[in-house]
Structure 1
Amino acid sequence: MTIRPRITEALARRRRWREFLDFADRHGSPHWLFRGVADKDKHLLVPKIGRDTARYDAGIERVLFRNFERRARQFVDVGSLSAWDLLALGQHHGLPTRLLDWSTNPLVAAFFAVSSEPRKEVARVYAYQASNVIDPTIEYDPFAIADVAVHIPSSIAPRIISQRGVFTVHPDPTIPLAPTGGATGDHYFDIEPIDRPYFERRLFGIAIDPSVIGADLDGLCRTLNWQYERGVALGKVVF
């Protein structure tokens, strides 16, 4: 009595995976960017610096960035980086900024959607049409832009490269970015909690996992931990 429901569930998950691949194909041209969120209702398209609207202050934001610029000199050659790339580097390492992370690879976005917390909510992959790309040789100041734009960073960190990372930059980081296409659903894809482990396993099978996304030992150990917990592709013990 339990075999048929299990088969039905398995077929439904495979169908949903194929639907996601179709979604990716429909957004296959180079001007599409992708972002995965773990909770479609609570994770709005808002940069970290602006998520607490009562606390946000543009002056404090600039001071925070200047402090990062001053103190980061012990770790990186700040003088070799533009203000844009320095801001991207800070964002990459957890600094609250007016940047929002995206990827040019929909599979990378799906990985972040299904593997992030909370895991019991409906995840979502957004597709955003990039139309206004920053030219840092003309627009020097990230704090002087008038409209939402896209920053394509230099190769400043291995993880940005491995994640095919790009950023949107927001003149008012407290205002949520409106998804391309509005609320029609044409440009986002939802993943139910029951389907998230299946998606994660399929992504692992095509080398979209923390060891690749993270491009460091932390990422490698996250992947091995995930394999251990789920008994996935551990191989035989050989001494």
Structure 2
Amino acid sequence: MFVHFGPTYSPPGLVFFLSIPQNKTNRFSISLDKNSFFPIDASSGLQYSWTEFDRQFPEKPFTQSFKFAGERKGAEFQIQVETDQVIGTIRLSQRQQKSSSLASQRLSWSEFKEKVNGLDSNRFIYRGQNQTWPLRTSFHRTKRADLSRFLAEDIQTLHRRLSGQTKHVFDLTQPLQNGAFFNMLQHHGYPTPILDWSHSPYVSAFFAFRGLSSEKSQDGRNPYVRIFVFDMQEWVRDYSQVSMLDVVTPHFSVQEFMALNNDRLVPQQGIATVTNVDDIERYIAERETERGKNYLSAIDIAWNARDEVVKDLNLMGITAGSLFPGIDGACEDVKERLFNI
């Protein structure tokens, strides 16, 4: 596991990779010297040298050694840390959040429209989900959420497979093209550490109710969709946005991707977030406590509003045909008109 010492968003920070040994008692004791660590740039999450660290922070000599003694109990670790400067305890958990901890506001469709129409269109972005699941990427929902492996194996394999099928051969060494390649994969169903958002609350409402038939919307067994509202403007102002995935510093970053081989991005008014964090809601909540601000909120709308919502979105021109240019979108559009009467 990676363990981070020091302020998360202001240098100096210190990171090391700690491999916890497996044994019958699940207890361990490890001693490490300074050479087992490396400093990181808090804004980029990238490693730099001790020489550079000492140059930047001449008045902040760092400890020369660490001692760790800990015990694993189920999905949790408790680690006692002792250095020549401090003594403390680290508690780590491997538990995955199965239900959302985010307090939500339940609104009717009319109340939702009134609320979002009063928000600054340049400040907030939106994400719609069929159910009130926690905010989590498709990649982190898998049992294979290893970012280093994802970059080394998945992306390279997909690049080889897809380069003959795309109009543009992506140069993955170029950050803008690399991001566009990731976003194309996301839009075609491959698990990525990206979350899709939209500048439009109504496009997000379409995705929240998408796939929910008129008949199913009346069964009442899972009665709410969820639309997340994220204060992008304040978040970007308060925290550095990181474009790299395989960095040790936790981050949740807003990214504007190029629409290469992705004709859905523009009509969906798409924008994305990239993260190396599993429990996004908790991560943002901790930042909210730090700043005394509210970045993330949620609105829940009853399933039984489905027909009213779809009717209004159709009148706005927000349909599968408009959001998914091509045969798939056209067929989904006609299916909605003919089968959900």
Q: Please give the TM-score of this superposition, normalised by the length of structure 2.
A: 0.55
Taking the TM superposition and a 5 Å limit, the aligned residue runs for 1:48-197 are 48-52=138-142, 54-62=143-151, 63-76=153-166, 77-79=169-171, 82-117=177-212, 119=217, 120-130=222-232, 131-132=235-236, 141-144=244-247, 146=249, 147-156=251-260, 157-172=262-277, 174-178=278-282, 187-197=297-307
Q: Are residues 47 and 191 of structure 1, via their aligned partners in 2, closer, same or farther at CA, if it must alter by over 3 Å?
A: same
Which protein has the bigger helix share?
Answer: 1
Identity, in percent, stands at 21
Asked if the contact 1:38–1:112 (Cα under 8 Å) also holds between the matched residues in 2, the reply is yes
Q: Are residues 86 and 116 of structure 1, via their aligned partners in 2, closer, same or farther at CA, if it must alter by over 3 Å?
A: same
Alpha-carbon distance in structure 2 between the residues aligned to 1:23 and 1:127: 11
- Matched residue type, 2:150: E
Give the corresponding residue for 2:25: none
Give RMSD over aligned pairs.
2.7
Alpha-carbon distance in structure 1 between the residues aligned to 2:243 and 2:334: 42
Cα deviation, 1:164-204, whole Å, max 9, x if unaligned, reads 111110122x223357879x9x9322111211221112111
Alpha-carbon distance in structure 2 between the residues aligned to 1:18 and 1:37: 19
Alpha-carbon distance in structure 1 between the residues aligned to 2:243 and 2:147: 18
Of 85-94 and 73-82, deviating more is 73-82
Of 98-107 and 72-81, deviating more is 72-81
1:203 aligns with 2:313: yes
Larger radius of gyration: 2
Which protein has the bigger strand share?
Answer: 2
Q: Are residues 111 and 67 of structure 1, via their aligned partners in 2, closer, same or farther at CA, if it must alter by over 3 Å?
A: same
Alpha-carbon distance in structure 2 between the residues aligned to 1:139 and 1:190: 30
SS at match of 1:49: coil
Q: Are residues 205 and 145 of structure 1, via their aligned partners in 2, closer, same or farther at CA, if it must alter by over 3 Å?
A: farther
Alpha-carbon distance in structure 2 between the residues aligned to 1:209 and 1:145: 40
- Matched residue type, 2:194: L
Structure 1 unmatched runs, 5+? 1-14, 232-239
SS at match of 2:128: strand
Alpha-carbon distance in structure 1 between the residues aligned to 2:189 and 2:131: 20
Cα deviation, 1:38-96, whole Å, max 9, x if unaligned, reads 111xx2211111013x4422332222122112222112211386221111111111121
How far apart are 1:139 and its partner, in Å? 6.1
Alpha-carbon distance in structure 1 between the residues aligned to 2:208 and 2:150: 28
Q: Are residues 57 and 142 of structure 1, via their aligned partners in 2, closer, same or farther at CA, if it must alter by over 3 Å?
A: closer
Alpha-carbon distance in structure 1 between the residues aligned to 2:160 and 2:257: 20
Asked if the contact 1:35–1:127 (Cα under 8 Å) also holds between the matched residues in 2, the reply is yes
Q: Are residues 140 and 102 of structure 1, via their aligned partners in 2, closer, same or farther at CA, if it must alter by over 3 Å?
A: closer
Q: Please give the TM-score of this superposition, normalised by the length of structure 1.
A: 0.76
Q: Are residues 33 and 205 of structure 1, via their aligned partners in 2, closer, same or farther at CA, if it must alter by over 3 Å?
A: same
Size of the aligned set, in residue pairs, is 207
With CA pairs under 8 Å and 6+ residues apart, which has the higher RCO, 1 or 2? 1
